[in-house]
Amino acid sequence: MEAYAVVKTGGKQYTVRTGDVLNVELLKGKSEGDSVELTTLAARAGETLAVGTPELESKVKATVLSAKRGKKILVFKNKRRSTFRKKNGHRQTFHAIRIESIPGAE
């Protein structure tokens, strides 16, 4: 069975394998080419599954590929029977990262 891990970053959890490319919340102080260590909640290599309480000591290593901005989301507020209308737009910034290694999968 192929090795995988469950990592946590930006308040979200992701299931990752070596070589995966993820779009994650912006990582402060990181730029293109930087190395990142992600919090590992669980990891599976072969037949062994390691589950942290709440996290494992070994970290998943990843590389920052680029910083991008997502699609524009429109926020429209309207109150009936009055002339109140408000339209805003928002584009979330995120980092694209590539998973380099998973603990125990070497």
Domains of the chain by residue range: 4-67+94-101
CA 67 – CA 31 distance, rounded (Å): 8
Residue-level pLDDT, tens digit, the chain, 106 residues: 688 999 999 999 999 999 999 999 999 999 999 999 999 999 998 888 889 888 888 899 999 999 999 999 999 999 999 999 999 999 999 999 999 998 866 5
Q: What is the pLDDT of residue 103?
A: 80
Q: What is the pLDDT of residue 52?
A: 87
Q: What is the pLDDT of residue 67?
A: 94
Q: Read off the pTM.
A: 0.81
If we measure between CA atoms, which residue out of 46, 62, 61 comes closest to residue 104? 46
CA count, 13 A, side-chain hemisphere, 26? 9
The one-character DSSP state at 43 is: E
